Amino acid sequence: MARCGCGGGDQCACALVAGPGIALAGNGSSTDPYVITAEAAVEPEPPSPLSVQVCSLILGNAQPQTIPNDGSYHVVRFPFDTESYDAYGMHSSVQPDGGQVLDWRTNDRSGLIWPSRDGWGSLTAVIQWEAGDYTELRDQYVRDPLGLTSNPNDTTGTVHRPPSPGIQCWSKHHELFVHPDVPLALRVSHNASTPKKIILAQFKLAIYV
């Protein structure tokens, strides 16, 4: 809506309301007009929808892994034939760097998740130990635990835990940037007097892009 008021001479004052919160005003004459131009509004591009790529591994209680009582961290290994979910090929026996796993029970490569793409990664794990005479249990996530890159054993999310009575049941969560050429693993350690079994484990990566 526009309103103009002119005095006795050639000079006029105009006010224009173009919409909610949009108002213009100015003075003009026949020799020096006040000109308003309108351009079509350009709507900004909507943001791309968020997508998630997921790998979810499980070590069932029918396939426990024995962890030595040597004070060192050990990669938790996962079978290839009982995947919980791996639609993006992040846990394969033939791996992106050319390595191949023939027996998942003896090869630490079976514990690697190779991210399918760059992105923000959400790591989740479940760890259940058999009962034992522990005084401490440890677990951590690690980038490249096997020395396959120029920056191996880059650990994060390390936790030292006191034991509870009976079997030990834990879950853990951590977030980080992930990359396709840097594999990830879950590692554990304990200080019992004898080797102890992990009776259930889960290892999950969700990549948000």
Centre a 10 Å sphere on the Cβ of residue 194 and count the other Cβ atoms it contains.
10
CA 136, 142, 145: angle at the middle one, nearest 5?
A: 105
The answer to whether residue 19 scores a pLDDT higher than 70 is no
State the pLDDT at residue 33: 64
The answer to whether residue 47 scores a pLDDT higher than 80 is no
SS3 track for 21-85: CEEEEEEECCCCCCCCCCCCCCCCCCCCCCCEEEEEEEECCCCCEEECCCCCCEECCCCCCCCCE
The answer to whether residue 43 scores a pLDDT higher than 80 is no
Q: Share the mean pLDDT of the chain.
A: 88
Instruction: Grade residue 185 by pLDDT with cuts at 50, 70 and 90.
Output: very high
State the pLDDT at residue 45: 77
State the pLDDT at residue 31: 65
State the pLDDT at residue 61: 86
The arithmetic mean of pLDDT across residues 58-67, rounded, is 94
- Give 21's contacts (C-beta < 8 A, 6+ positions apart): none
CA distances from 54 to 8, 85, 99, 200 (A): 76, 7, 22, 20
Instruction: Please name the residue that has the structure tokens 């004459």.
Output: 29
- Integer-rounded Cα radius of gyration of the chain: 31
The answer to whether residue 1 scores a pLDDT higher than 60 is no
- DSSP code per residue over 129-189: EPP---S-EEEEEEE-TTS-SSS--EEEEEEEE---SSSEEEEEEEEEEE-TTS-EEEEEE
Q: pLDDT tens, 114-146?
A: 999 999 999 999 999 999 999 999 999 999 999
State the pLDDT at residue 82: 79
Centre a 10 Å sphere on the Cβ of residue 68 and count the other Cβ atoms it contains.
12
The arithmetic mean of pLDDT across residues 154-181, rounded, is 97
Closest C-alpha to 113, from 208, 209, 202? 202
The answer to whether residue 41 scores a pLDDT higher than 60 is no
The answer to whether residue 80 scores a pLDDT higher than 70 is yes
Q: pLDDT tens, 100-116?
A: 999 999 999 999 999 99
State the pLDDT at residue 150: 96
Instruction: Grade residue 37 by pLDDT with cuts at 50, 70 and 90.
Output: low
